[in-house]
Structures are given as structure tokens and as C-alpha cells.
Structure 1
Amino acid sequence: MARKAEGPTLQRDPRTNKLITQFRIAGRKYRRSTGCTDKAEAKVEANRIYKEELARATKKLVGNPIIAELFDQWLDDIDGTVSERYWTTQAKRTVFLAERFESVSDVTPHAVREYIKERLKSVTATTVRRDLVPLRQCLRWAFDEGLIDQPPFIPLPKKRARGTRAIDTRRVGLTDAQVESLLRALPERTRKGHPVRDLFTVAWDTGLRHDGIFRLEAGRHFRLDRKTLHVTKDIDKNGYERELPLTDRAYESLAAQGVDVGPIFQRWDYRKSLRTAAKSLGLDPDDLKSLDMRDFRHAATDDGARKSGHLSGLAYMAGHTDKHTTSRYIHPRIDDAREVLNKRFPSNGTPSGTRTGGGEGSQ
């Protein structure tokens, strides 16, 4: 027996102060913003939204549903059940997929393989697999909801497929000396007034991800009376909440922005300023083309490993919940091998008990 529809209720969103309506139709939960702060106006709008969704659900998509419409419904259904970052990422991917596949009947194994071939010319196989996540999940959801007869088979790139790595994804290996030279070469501010040197000082000294740095807020993550950063779950990729110690200059760089409440650094395209300053380091031209803040994070983690060898501390600083991830940021060099040999064999001679060649029984 089908479940009855449950009428709309109102709930105020503490972030926007606007009223949200919630209701169920055929067991499916709906959550929509009325866009109103007045309760009487919100009630009228809630009833309109409810009737509209009820009519759509009663009519139901049959035959050959439009992919874009399925994506919209699927995204509405998972909203609030997944992280905001995940939802936003999938929503962006659905835009391109809806342009490629108009309806469910267009999603054939051959069409998907053609899409994969085309995408592999510009991105890696890993990226293509991620591209197809919302398509696979949405069609499985549509089948479970009774909107399509069965989910189409969606092939994935073959295991041996590698695709094309874009130039801007190339990581640039920087030494601590290079980074410090680069910080000195950066202007205090860009021509438009952006604090580029302070930004990269914080990036280098903390090793935070670039997105997390741009989401730092005064009063919430940074306070003048503390020499630490409070990293909250919502600004960390892994949701790793923690207190990070600050160097004196990182503290001064944050304090110098003079922000009492709200974002400390405004987002802007810093790459031109960074790459102009980096020319003095004599980097490879291809490295200059791809140099960005992510390289500072890699360099910071690698530098920390060389100077401390404290894997747990590095994982904590970097926000890694798995230490194996931290190890991938460490880039061995020949000097590391020499240091290992010097510690194993301090005299730098032939270890005792080691054959030097010849002699009875040698092969």
C-alpha cells in the first residue's frame, strides 16, 4: 500500500533566518526554502511548493526521462544527507553530463565509452571515473524510486587507461631554501592590494590546504589572544578538527590583515604574482606554468619530514587521518640516501664482515 503524502511544515533556517518547508510524498522527504522570513507569507509559499511537487510526483516521469530533470530530483533528495562539499562537487559534474546525455535512452554503453575516450584526451582516468559518479548514482536512485525500468550499464575507463594530465596539475618540487627565497621575492601586496606575501607565509608555515586558508575567519579560527589556529571540520577536506600551533611570522601575517570578524583573506587569482616572483629562482618553464599554493603544502610536509622525522606530528599538521597519505608527500633525494649510508657506516668505509671480492667461496 502506497504511503500517503504528509503536508508541509515550516522550520526557520538559523543561518539565513528564512523559513524552510519540509514534507513527504510517497515516502520521499522534500526540503525547500520558501525564501520568506514572514510566517504567513512562508505558509502560502510552502503550500504552493507542496502542490507543485505533489503534481509532479503524481504524474511521475515515465518512458524516457530527461537526464537534467533526474539530476535535479536526485540532488534535492540527497541534499542534507551528504556534506556540502560533496553535494556541490556532484552538482557541478551533473551540468556537463546533462549537456552530453539528454535523456536516459542516450545513456548507452557505446555513448558512455565515446564520452570516456573524449575526456581521456584532456584529463586523467581518475578524473573520468569521478565524472561518472553522479550519473551512476542518479540512475540507480531513479530505478529505486521507480522512475526508470532499470539502470543502464555504465562502463568505466579500463584499468590500463591513464588519460592526459593537464599541465596545471603538475606538482613542483620546492626546497625550503627555494620557498624562503620566493617569500622574499614576493611583494607585500599586489597592485590591487592583495596581501600576497602574508598569504604564502601562512601557507608555508602551516602547510594548510589552499581552500582551507581562504576559508579562515577571524574570531572563529584565528584570534589575537591565541598563538594557534582552530581548524574546524567545515574548512578541512577530511573534516579533521584540530588546534594548529602558529609560528611568530604566521601569527603576524594573520594579525596584519586587521580583520575582527569574517574571512581573513579574500579569494583572488594569485598565480600571476607568484609565478612572476618565481622567475628569479630559475625554475623550469613548465614548472613556472603550474606553480601554485598546492606546491607550498607539498613542500611544507616534505620539509617537516626531513627536519623532524615525526610522522604523527606531520599527519596532524597536514590534516591527514591516514599516515600513508602523509608519506606520499615526502619526496626522497640522493642526499637522503647519503645520510642513511653515513649513519649506517659512520667511518664511510667497508663494513666489517662484508666481502670486498675474491677469496675462497666467492661467486
Structure 2
Amino acid sequence: MTLVWVLTLLGILGLLLFDYFFHVRSAHVPTIREAAVWSALYVGIALLFGVGTLIFGGSAMGSEYFAGYVTEKALSVDNLFVFLIIMTSFRVPRENQQKVLLVGIVVSLIARAGFIFLGSALLNSFSWVFYLFGIVLLLTAGNMLKPETEESHQAQNNVVRIARRLFRTSPEFDDDKLFTQLDGKRVMTPMLLVMVAIGGTDLMFALDSIPAIFGLTQNVFVVFTATAFSLLGLRQLYFLLDGLLDRLIYLSFGLAMILAFIGAKLILHALHENNLAFINGGEHIEVVEISTGLSLVVILVVLVLTILASLFSTRGRTQTAMAHIRRDATAYLDSEYTDDPGERERIFLRLLRARDHIVALGPKARQQVKNEPELLALCHQVAETHATLHEGHTKGYIQP
């Protein structure tokens, strides 16, 4: 088993180093095709590892891995929205966002490994911890049921506000440097600060995700590998889903159902293993325990239904359009957002599509739009800037 651990850790380290030296070290804006190819590759590697687990570890271990991987991947997609808010808050240049994400992933992987071994030690020593993990997941599920909008995620951005108060940084980025000179003093750049913010936010996410996967399996190797492979490829997924993150308006509700289901599963297991004196006199209680196979089916069905409901929802398309106008207009008008003309043209065209969607809405759907005059004024401002930069060739874009 030691050899398996060593080979797995070396494989994960190799993938991270490959990601850095061949993609992140040279700052650039990845294309949709590049993000799609590498996202598919990382998912493929994770699935192949799961097949290997199924063959060499048995059906139970394989099922646990796939259930854990799917759950952690779904939670990581929900977390990407907060990463997007942080990137926007810090005005991270598009070319440098890959490096920020990769560093955040490495920090998250190290921190979660620590949480995993700590959680395993607690579960092996104190069976009542299953009750604790179950309650945590039920409370988290309840919080996720609150209606979410783009603005509601700002409340999760406390790390950013605290970091800005505690650390003195330069007002602007200095390429991808972590430190620079300001008034003759060595200070941090926003690049380092945003890495700290992403890493710190990842730590908070771990408090939900680690109990969730322990609710599916207590095998430390499975917990670690499912978590690690769900994080690998997250950088590519961020760019692949760019534009769709706002669209997944029901994902949080689906995740709430999954976490509540796993929380109930944990509490049932805790009752079966019970040794708390004030519960049934310290004796275990015969209850139905939910199998890993059933858990995997429930997780997949809930995710598929909530994703499809989000993608075909008029409300989802409208919320996406509003978010795109706000973020894309800000990005386009920010001269430091990117030096890539293709990226600037991409967000300009996406903003126009979002504007056209808002304009074409019927009276009932239009009630979902907040500050429509402000949004259309932003579109007009961007279109005028675009027309000026392109010597008037796009003046037809200005008026909706």
C-alpha cells in the first residue's frame, strides 16, 4: 500500500508540475478549445484512475471513489463562482488568472490533505464525530437553500476585504510578480494578495467538502485521491465554464440536496455505531444504512436534473446576461484587463449577445432584470469605446 501511495503522490505532483511549466509559466489567455481539451484530459485521467481502483480495489472501493469524485467535482464547480468574484474584485489581468488558480489549487490540496488525515484520525478515535459531520452537512445544506444571486456571493468574499486591510500592497499589478518596489519600499503586489484570498477561500470550502466525502467513504486513500483529482483540472474548468457559471442557478439547490442526503447518511451510520451514553444507553441502534451504490445514483440524478433545469431556465439565461454585462463592461473598459485583442473582442461580442437578450425579453421576464437602464448604458459606453478603437467600423453596434 505504501508503494501505491508513493506512486499516486508522484503522479499528482507530476501533473501539477506539467501544468505549471507547459501552461501557466508563460502567461496567456487560454482559448475555449485549449480549456476544453485539457479539461477532458484531466477528467479522463480521473476516470481511468477510478477504473483502476475498481479493478484492483474491488467494486465497493471503486464505487466509493466515483461517488466521492463526482461530489467533490460538483462542489468545486460551485466554488468557481466565488473565484470569479475574487478575480473581478482584484482586477486580475486575464493572462495572470491561470497562475492564481494553480497556486490556489496547490494550497487547497495541501490543506485538504491535512484535514483528511485529521478527520480520519478523529473518526477512528471517536465515533460520535459522525454525528458532528452529519450536522455540519445538514446546516450547510440549509444555508445553500437560500436564493442566490450574483450579489449574494459577495458575502462569501470576506477573505478579500480582510486581506486588503491587513496587508499593504501596490495599487497595480507588476506583470505576475509577487513583490515590487513602491516609494523605495518592498511591498506585495495584488498578485500575491489574490493568491492568499483564493487559498483562504479554499480552506473555508474544505470545511464542507471533507465531511461530505467522509460521508461516502472512510477509506483515506479514496478520500484523498477523489479530492485531489477533483481539484486537478479545476484551472482549465474555470476558463471552459466562463460564461456558464452564472447560468447554473439551481446548482446550489442540487448541492444542498446532495449534502443533506449525505448528512442523513452520516447520522444513520453514527446511530449504527453509537456509543454515546445519552442515546439508547450507549448501545448501537439498528437502522437502515444507505449503500455507496445508491448514494452514487442519487448524486448523479440530482446533479443532472439541476444542471438541465438551470440550462433551460429563462431566469438562468437572464441572470447570466445581467452578470455578463456588468463584468464584461467593466473588463472591456479596464485597459489593464488584457493585452490580448482576441480576448477583448470575445468579451465585447458576449456583452452584445447579453444586451440583445435583455432587450428581447417579454414584459413578464423583464421583471427579473435589475437596473435595466444602467445595464444598457454600460453597453452603450462599451460600444462607443469599441467603435472609437476600430475607427467607426462597428457604429452599428451602439444602438440596441
- Per the shorter chain, which TM-score range? under 0.3
Give the TM-score normalised by the residue count of structure 2: 0.24
Give the TM-score normalised by the residue count of structure 1: 0.25
Q: Name the one with the larger helix percent.
A: 2
Q: Name the one with the larger strand percent.
A: 1
Of structures 1 and 2, the one scoring higher in RCO (CA 8 A, sep 6+) is 2
